[in-house]
Structure 1
Amino acid sequence: LVVISVDHCVSVVFPVWAQNHRTVKKAYIIVVLAWLLAISQGIPSLIFGDVLSHLDITICYNDYSLYQNGQELVTVRPLITGFIVPFIVIIFCYSIIILKLRTNRMTKNSKPFKVMTALVLAFFICWLPYHVFVLLELNHQNYDHTILYTGLKIGTSMAAANSFLNPVLYVFMGNDFKGSVLSKMEHAMADEECTT
């Protein structure tokens, strides 16, 4: 999401430069770097993750006994690098885009602003519960285990939902939603008729 928002920002603020310098090779490099960064975020969970089996019950848990600040590392680092910093970058990029579009009067349509607002809100709403419950888990002795467990399940589901929510927002809020959906349905029906 950060890469997409930065790409949109560069395309709007520097359209000529973007047209001349954005290449498929550079896109591949950025995607690979994003994946490497995402993989590196999971390394602490690999280090501290452990499995306990007893009476046909298997429990996955994090063992922080070897490193006293391990739980903070696994909890606070993703909050900063996976939520706070991306949220700030996304808001910054879309704010610049909105200012650029408004000052240049490049668009009379309010849909781009609605799409950008919806994307930022979706990111915030989907990821905030997960990080709140992960932080609450740091002091798990002060909270009801059932509430933490349920909150983490819901938070994890909402965070995962953000991955499919963004494309849906682009499609449903895009300018050509009605035409694109109808044309795709007509195309699918034509293919179906041909095969029957």
Structure 2
Amino acid sequence: MKTNSSVHEDDSAVHNDFSTTIGALILSLVFLLGVPGNFFIVWSILARIKRRSVTTLLILNLALADGFIMILTIFFIIYLAKQRWIFGEPMCKALFYLCNTNMYASIFLITLMSVHRMVAVLFPRKLSYLVTRKMVRRIIVGMWMLVMVIAIPSLVFRKVIEVSDDETNHTKWICAPNHSLPRHVRFQYAFETVSGFILPYAVIITCYVLILKRLRQTKFRRHVRSEKLILAIVVMFGLFWLPYHVINMVQVAAEWYPEDSDTRKILDDIHSDSRAVTSALAFISSCANPVLYTFAGKSYIKKNGFAFMAKLFEGTSSEQTENKKSRNMNKIGVRSNDSNNTLPTCEQTVTHQVS
């Protein structure tokens, strides 16, 4: 039933046996690791940490978003395995909408972590004034409202479509993009890549350039290690989402060429053959963080057992208390003779104690 430009891309996720098989295997692994891993993080923070710092609140929201979307991967595993959609149109729209919401939420939360790190390093004495837990909670609520709005295109441009099955000579139903005009394709995927990858990463890179520049201006360069955990989260997210956004741009580029051109056919083949695998790789980023935290907190495992994750995050829980102490010391006239010497003390109040 290929009647418009949307249908050329409609079976991009399920028409290639090799691509769908690899995608299903990746998603199965992601499900097995991601669901228990992310909810273990949630349990560690809610049950083991009484005073939750800004960074801990952001990590909690990231784990909730990733854990929830990991549960939904079971539907996509079945979709790829059967190569047909059996859950109806409401679920088709809802599941892809939730996936896009999670993508935006993840990168925005990581961006907020990076901005918080930058403020902590550049303005350590003012951190408790500039960044409070109450303000961060409001920002997080606002962020969730924002991502639910900007993910709407994935809800609008998605529907269940009937297509022919070349192997059986019958028709089948698939959950596919539904773009009636080429400009709809260009808008959705360009908007998704710019707002969900390029702009946030520009902010993240700017933050870390300023952080490293500040740290290198001091003689306490060993504190660069304190940024490694969040930096690892940033890099991991970028590595697994980059292929997905590259394919987005390939699909956008294809829409600029006539349908009968050789370049258009090549670009269409690239994005249709790669979509299932790159989408599955993107899901890996949601189960990668628990693995990173486990490696970061491995020195606590033997001593603290299942509480090791909470121990890893404990360093961030004292930041408000320590900042208040620092502020009170300033009020009674305690001053450092060397301005550079203030950085380690303030750094210790706002960074992870990662061994």
TM-score (norm 2): 0.46
2:209 aligns with: 95
Verify: 1:42 aligned to 2:156, yes or no.
no
State which of 274, 284, 296 in structure 2 corresponds to 1:161: 284
User: Contact conserved, 2:113 with 2:230, CA < 8 A, in 1?
Assistant: no
Partner of 1:185: 305
Q: Which moved more, 1:9-18 or 1:53-62?
A: 53-62
| 1:129 aligned onto 2:256 | no
Equivalent residue, structure 1, for 2:115: 6
Q: Over alpha carbons, which structure has the higher Rg?
A: 2
**Bigger relative contact order (CA 8 A; separation at least 6):** 2
SS at match of 1:59: strand
Q: Which residue of 1 aligns with 2:174?
A: 59
Aligned residue identity for 2:193: L
Residues 187/117 of structure 1: CA separation in 2 closer, same or farther (3 Å cut) = closer
1:171 to 1:96, Cα distance in 2 relative to 1, 3 A: farther
- The answer for the alignment partner of 1:111 in structure 2 is 225
> Shift of the alpha carbon at 1:131?
0.8
Gaps of 5+ in 1: 189-196
What's the secondary structure of 1:52's corresponding residue?
strand
Letter in 2 for 1:143: I
Percent of aligned pairs with the same amino acid: 29
Q: Over residues 168-195 of structure 1, what are the superposed CA-to-partner deviations in whole Å (9 max), with x where a residue is unaligned? A: 33442x4xx233222232769xxxxxxx
Q: Cα deviations across residues 111-133 of structure 1 (Å, max 9, x unaligned)? A: 33554553443232111100111
Figure out how many residues of one structure are paired with residues of the other and give that number.
Answer: 184
Residue 17 (structure 1) shift: 1.6
Structure 2: gaps (5+ residues): 1-109, 164-169, 256-263, 309-355
Structure 1 contact 137–148 (Cα < 8 Å) conserved: yes
**Greater Cα offset, 40-49 or 137-146:** 137-146
CA distance in 1, matches of 2:193, 2:306: 45
